[in-house]
Amino acid sequence: MNLFPLSGTQCLCSLLSSEGSAKLACLLRVYFPLGTMVSWEVDGAEVKDGVLTTTEEEKGGHFSRSSTLTLSKARWEDGEVYTCTTTTPVLLDSVTDPYVEEGFSLLNAPGEI
């Protein structure tokens, strides 16, 4: 599993793979305020199919949540750019992290889960 820090937040993006699919995960940890939204884009277009976002969990006055985007192996191998965007309600600020790794193959993924 590879982890990629998202600039300016406590968010990590990772790729989890299995035989026929790929799952991108955006993990938001220790953030504030409540109501931070997560969305996914593929090559700049928002997608909702295959997206699962958890409810926000509170601990010590901060929040956490995760969101996953599940793709077919064929779609993952198309080389599209996948983006997880977080938007905070108070700041109306978005943080975006494009994820693309050239030459990555699900067949030879190190640390495959």
Count CB-CB contacts under 10 A for residue 71: 22
Q: Read off the pLDDT of residues 2-46 as tens digits, 9 standing for 90 and up.
A: 334 343 343 445 566 667 788 888 888 766 677 788 899 989 999
What is the spatial distance between Cα 26 and Cα 102, in angstroms, rounded to a whole number?
A: 20
**Three-state DSSP state, 75:** helix
Give this prediction's pTM.
Answer: 0.64
Is the confidence at residue 57, as pLDDT, over 90?
Answer: no
Query: Which band of pLDDT confidence, cut at 50, 70 and 90, is reported for residue 111?
Result: very low
Q: Read off the pLDDT of residues 68-93 as tens digits, 9 standing for 90 and up.
A: 898 888 888 888 888 888 887 765 55
Name the CATH topology of 3-108: Immunoglobulin-like (2.60.40)
